[in-house]
Amino acid sequence: MNIESIILPHILGLKPYSSARDEFKGKEGVFLDANENALGSGLPTAYNRYPDPMAWEIKTQLAEIKHCQKEQIFLGNGSDEAIDLLIRMTCRPGQDAVLICPPTYGMYEVSANINQAKAITVPLDANFDLDLPKIKAALSPELKLLFLCSPNNPTGNKLSRARIVELLDHYQHGLVVVDEAYIDFSDEPSFISELEHYPHLVVLQTLSKAYGLAGLRLGMAFASSFLIGLLNKIKPPYNINAATQTLVQQALGAKDFVKKSIEVLNTQKNALISELNGISGVKTIYPSHANFILVVFDRADDLFDYLIQHQVITRSRTKLSQCEGSIRITIGTESENQALLASINAFYAQ
C-alpha cells in the first residue's frame, strides 16, 4: 500500500511552525525566548509558561496503558480535533469525500462540511452493523476516509469486528478511522493492537467518557508514527494546555477510579435496563456496550419534553432515521437514575 498517496501533497511537503519550545528542550535556564510574562500568572499555580507542544509526559503514560509506542499517539483538544485534522490532511475541498454510517456520531459529517468534503452516507443495517455490500459499492477514488464508530453512538452496540477487518483488508486507498470513544465500557479489545498490520488504520479514543475528564478536553488518535507525525505537523502548536497536561498526568495515575467507574456504571446500566423493562411505555431497549442506552418509547417526544420540565435532561434521537421514537439516556448515579425512572413513571401515569 502506498500510504503517502492518501495524504495531500501540500501536507506531505509542509514545513511546520517551529515554536520557541521546539527549539530548546531543556528545563533549566533563563527563559527569554517566548515572550511570556516572567512575573507569573496572578494565580496560586503559575501558568505563565507555554506547555510542552507534544505533551510527551502524557504520551509516555498512555503508551504504557495502551500498549503502543509514544510516537504512535496524537493528542488533540478532544477527539473532535483529530477528526478535523484527519479530514484536512486527506480531502481536497470540493472534491474528496468521507464515508459515514448513520445513525452515528454527528461530528464526522459536521467536520466534513466544515472542510467542504462530501459526506457519503451508507446507513447501518437493521442490526446497526456495517452494511458491507453497500459500503463496498460506495468506495471510489475520491473517498479518503471511512468513519466507523464502535461501540456506536447513539445506538450503543459494537460493530462486528470481522466486518471492520474485512474493510481494512479490502479498502486501501484511504484511511479507516475506528472511533472507540466508548471502548472502556465494552469487553471488546481495542483495534490499537491491529495498528502493526494496517498502515491505513487510525484509532480514536478520548478521556471524556470512562476517564471522567470531558472538561479537560483530551482526545487521542493512535496510528503509525508516519501518520501521527503528519497530524502533529498540522495541529496548532500548543493544543493541549498546561492545566490539562498537569491534571491528566495525575488522573492517569488514578487507575482505580476508571476501573471502579466502569464497574459501577455497567452495574447501574443493567439495573436501569431491568427497571425500564417493567414500564409498559418502553418499546425497545437496545443492547449497549457504552455508558448510555438507546430506548424506544411510546410518545417519545412528549416524554422528552416532560422530562425536561422535570429537570431530567436526556438526548432526543427521535428525528434520526432508524432511531424514530428513541431517547438516548446516559447512565448516571444510582439516585440520578432513580430520578429518571420516577419521572418516566409519572409521565405514563398521567
Contacts with ligand PLP by CB under 6 A lie at 78-80, 105, 149, 153, 179, 181, 206, 208, 214, 219
> Which residue, judged by CB position, is nearest to ligand PLP in the bound state?
78
Shortest Cβ 79–ligand PLP spacing (Å): 4
Q: Nearer to ligand PLP by C-beta: 105 or 297?
A: 105
DSSP letter assigned to residue 205: E
Q: Nearer to ligand PLP by C-beta: 72 or 79?
A: 79
Shortest Cβ 340–ligand PLP spacing (Å): 20
Q: Nearer to ligand PLP by C-beta: 292 or 297?
A: 292
Q: Nearer to ligand PLP by C-beta: 53 or 103?
A: 103
Question: From CA 234, how far away is CA 85, in angstroms rounded?
Answer: 7
How long a stretch of residues is the chain? 350
Question: From CA 146, how far away is CA 164, in angstroms rounded?
Answer: 10
Shortest Cβ 221–ligand PLP spacing (Å): 10
Shortest Cβ 75–ligand PLP spacing (Å): 10
Q: At CA 186, angle to CA 181 and CA 189, rounded to 5?
A: 85
Shortest Cβ 107–ligand PLP spacing (Å): 7
Query: Strand runs (DSSP E) across the chain, as ranges?
Result: 73-76, 97-100, 118-121, 143-149, 175-179, 201-206, 219-222, 282-285, 292-297, 315-316, 326-330
Q: Nearer to ligand PLP by C-beta: 53 or 154?
A: 154
Edge-to-edge strands, sheet with 315-316: 282-285, 292-297, 326-330, 315-316
Shortest Cβ 304–ligand PLP spacing (Å): 19
Q: Nearer to ligand PLP by C-beta: 149 or 327?
A: 149
CA 219 to chain centre: 7
What b/e string do you get for 257-286 counting C-beta neighbours within 10 Å, with b at 16 or more?
ebeebbeebbebbeebbebbeeeebbeebb
